[in-house]
């Protein structure tokens, strides 16, 4: 589960991670008040207004309605409300949002941390994430702060430092020192970075996260180490033991159809194609999407109905898929093991009749337990439904219908 920057920073602060301070606001007036409060708290006279959406690239991104960037600097208290107004409720398009962009409901008013001083401010990259191949967590750091780590990995892989954490003993002091030295730090800044890494790792474990990305981490001109941005990805499977974190979920950041599907126990991801699909099992669902593509169509969605493909789940699935106006045909692909095909077929017929108007062709491919009986029920239903047993035939039917 992804959360917003302001939520991530709040969590990190609770674990002793030093952050760029900020206050969240959802109106220009609240933004002005936040700036005032921040001035009293930190003494900052410049303010950074940051759009809060679940996507990166905000600084370079543009708000459709006003032309403002997603992260802007206000050089006085007076500038804050107008700058916030240009971002709030606008549609921010970044390289990660897709062309449709995302609506900004909140802005974070943050202190300016790039002030001049005894040395130049310097940005770094720091993340903690799971290394699947090694089965343990890894700390990744780079001197190339503020850049896409993918770009750094491609062009200058030698600039990425990695420290794997032994699950038996946890993060050790020498590892944090290794990272801080490799980043070229010394003196106060070095000490600050070691402490920063330890606090960050504690927060990572404490929140059951699957990824932390702090980009950039800033060494200020007076040698403090601060998280200027924070991306926290929480492990969905561990949310049962973090009720407080589960509440941070922002449904407005998610596709409404995906949220509705989850409420019906379906696993749905919306895509851009023209052929909808409904499948039992995640692997088979992805394979079915691939079949649609190979048959000349484009998958309109991923939809895993799970182990129980009954009339209710099939009906819920139909309704969700048909909300997408691009869908020209639906392929249902169920491999009946424990669940019997004749029961799934009855479910399909029942769901079809319940919905009433279905104006697009539906291909039902049932294989496994009682496949023949299932096909017979579909064929005799008199509905505009095509039946198939072998996967190849289903693929051919998709091709024919598009």
Residues taking part in catalysis: 125, 213
CA neighbours closer than 13 Å in the CB half-sphere of residue 280: 21
Of 160, 238, 322, 327, the one binding other proteins (CB under 8 A) is 238
Q: Are 101 and 92 in contact (CB under 8 A)?
A: yes
Of 241, 243, 356, 359, the one binding other proteins (CB under 8 A) is 241
Q: Shortest distance, CB of residue 143 to other proteins, whole angstroms?
A: 20
Q: Shortest distance, CB of residue 130 to other proteins, whole angstroms?
A: 6
Q: Shortest distance, CB of residue 87 to other proteins, whole angstroms?
A: 24
Residues 6+ apart with CB under 8 A from 206: 15
Integer angstrom CA distances of residue 301 from 14, 278, 327, 351: 39, 9, 9, 19
Per-position x/- string for 266-295, each x denoting binding to other proteins as judged by CB under 8 A, each - no binding: -x-x-x-x-----xxxxxxxxxxxxxxxx-
Scan residues 145-164 and list those touching other proteins (CB under 8 A).
150, 153
Q: Shortest distance, CB of residue 21 to other proteins, whole angstroms?
A: 30
Choose the binding region for other proteins from 27-35, 86-94, 367-375, 376-384 (rule: CB under 8 A). Answer: 367-375
Of 61, 101, 336, 347, the one binding other proteins (CB under 8 A) is 336
| Residue number with CB closer to other proteins (82 or 238) | 238
Torsion angles phi and psi, residue 236, rounded to 5: -55, -40
User: Do the annotations mark residue 45 as ligand-binding?
Assistant: no
Of 132, 157, 158, 325, the one binding other proteins (CB under 8 A) is 132
User: Do the annotations mark residue 57 as ligand-binding?
Assistant: yes
How big is the CA angle at 399 (ends 394 and 402), to the nearest 5 degrees?
A: 120
User: Do the annotations mark residue 109 as ligand-binding?
Assistant: no
Q: Is there binding between residue 327 and other proteins (CB under 8 A)?
A: no
CA neighbours closer than 13 Å in the CB half-sphere of residue 214: 31
Scan residues 25-84 and list those touching other proteins (CB under 8 A).
none
User: Do the annotations mark residue 272 as ligand-binding?
Assistant: no
User: Do the annotations mark residue 337 as ligand-binding?
Assistant: yes
User: Do the annotations mark residue 24 as ligand-binding?
Assistant: no
Integer angstrom CA distances of residue 149 from 121, 124, 152, 154, 215: 20, 11, 5, 9, 9
Scan residues 180-219 and list those touching other proteins (CB under 8 A).
205, 208, 210
| Residue number with CB closer to other proteins (282 or 355) | 282
Q: Shortest distance, CB of residue 329 to other proteins, whole angstroms?
A: 16
Q: Is there binding between residue 301 and other proteins (CB under 8 A)?
A: no
Q: Shortest distance, CB of residue 111 to other proteins, whole angstroms?
A: 31
Of 60, 95, 384, 392, the one binding other proteins (CB under 8 A) is 392
Q: Is there binding between residue 259 and other proteins (CB under 8 A)?
A: no
Minimal CA–CA distance to 57: which of 81, 23, 93, 88?
A: 93
User: Do the annotations mark residue 280 as ligand-binding?
Assistant: yes
| Residue number with CB closer to other proteins (68 or 370) | 370
Minimal CA–CA distance to 90: which of 108, 75, 106, 110?
A: 106
Minimal CA–CA distance to 396: which of 283, 327, 271, 294?
A: 294
Number of residues that bind other proteins (CB under 8 A): 54
User: Do the annotations mark residue 338 as ligand-binding?
Assistant: yes
How many residues belong to the chain? 402
Residue in this structure with the two tokens 């005894």, named with its chain if needed: 118
Q: Centre a 10 Å sphere on the Cβ of residue 211 and count the other Cβ atoms it contains.
A: 16
Q: Is there binding between residue 337 and other proteins (CB under 8 A)?
A: yes
Minimal CA–CA distance to 93: which of 72, 119, 117, 66?
A: 66
Q: Are 180 and 194 in contact (CB under 8 A)?
A: yes
User: Do the annotations mark residue 358 as ligand-binding?
Assistant: no
Q: Is there binding between residue 367 and other proteins (CB under 8 A)?
A: yes
| Residue number with CB closer to other proteins (195 or 293) | 293
Mark the binding-site residues for ATP, compressed into ranges.
Answer: 50, 57-59, 113, 123
Residues in touch with other proteins (CB under 8 A): 130, 132-133, 135-137, 150, 153, 167-168, 205, 208, 210, 235-238, 240-241, 267, 269, 271, 273, 279-294, 298-299, 302, 304, 335-338, 367-369, 390-392, 395
């Amino acid at each position: 589960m992804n959360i917003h920057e302001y939520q991530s920073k709040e969590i990190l602060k609770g674990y002793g991670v030093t952050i760029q301070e900020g206050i969240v606001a959802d109106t220009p007036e609240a933004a002005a008040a936040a700036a005032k409060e921040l001035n009293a708290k930190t003494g900052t006279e410049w303010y950074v207004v940051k759009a809060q959406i679940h996507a990166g690239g905000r600084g370079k991104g543009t708000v459709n309605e006003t032309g403002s960037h997603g992260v802007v600097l206000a050089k006085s208290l007076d500038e804050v409300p107008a700058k916030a107004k240009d971002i709030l409720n606008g549609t921010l398009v970044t390289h990660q949002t897709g062309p449709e962009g995302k609506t900004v409901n909140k802005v974070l008013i943050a202190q300016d941390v790039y002030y001049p001083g005894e040395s130049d401010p310097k940005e770094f990259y720091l993340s903690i994430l799971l290394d699947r191949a090694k089965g343990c967590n890894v700390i990744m750091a780079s001197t190339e702060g503020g850049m896409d780590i993918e770009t750094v990995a491609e062009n200058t892989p030698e600039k990425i430092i990695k420290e794997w954490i032994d699950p038996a003993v946890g993060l050790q002091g020498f590892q944090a020192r290794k990272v801080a030295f490799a980043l070229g730090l010394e003196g106060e800044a070095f000490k600050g970075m070691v402490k920063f890494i330890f606090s960050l790792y504690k927060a990572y474990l404490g929140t059951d996260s699957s990824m932390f990305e702090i980009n950039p981490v800033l060494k200020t001109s007076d040698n403090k180490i601060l998280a200027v941005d924070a991306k926290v990805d929480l492990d969905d499977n561990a949310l049962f033991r973090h009720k407080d974190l589960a509440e941070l979920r922002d449904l407005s950041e998610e596709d409404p159809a995906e949220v509705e599907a989850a409420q019906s126990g379906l696993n749905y991801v919306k895509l851009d194609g023209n052929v909808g699909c409904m499948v039992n099992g995640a692997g088979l669902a992805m394979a079915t999407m691939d079949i649609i593509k190979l048959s000349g169509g484009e998958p309109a969605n991923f939809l895993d109905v799970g182990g129980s493909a009954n009339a209710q789940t099939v009906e819920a699935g139909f309704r969700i898929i048909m909300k997408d106006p691009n869908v020209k045909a639906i392929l249902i692909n169920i491999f009946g093991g424990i669940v019997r095909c004749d029961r799934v077929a009855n479910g399909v017929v029942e769901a079809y009749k319940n919905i009433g108007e279905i104006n697009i062709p539906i291909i039902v491919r049932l294989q496994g337990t009682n496949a023949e009986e299932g096909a017979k029920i579909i064929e005799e239903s008199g509905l505009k439904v095509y039946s198939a047993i072998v996967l190849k035939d289903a693929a051919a039917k998709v091709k024919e219908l598009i």
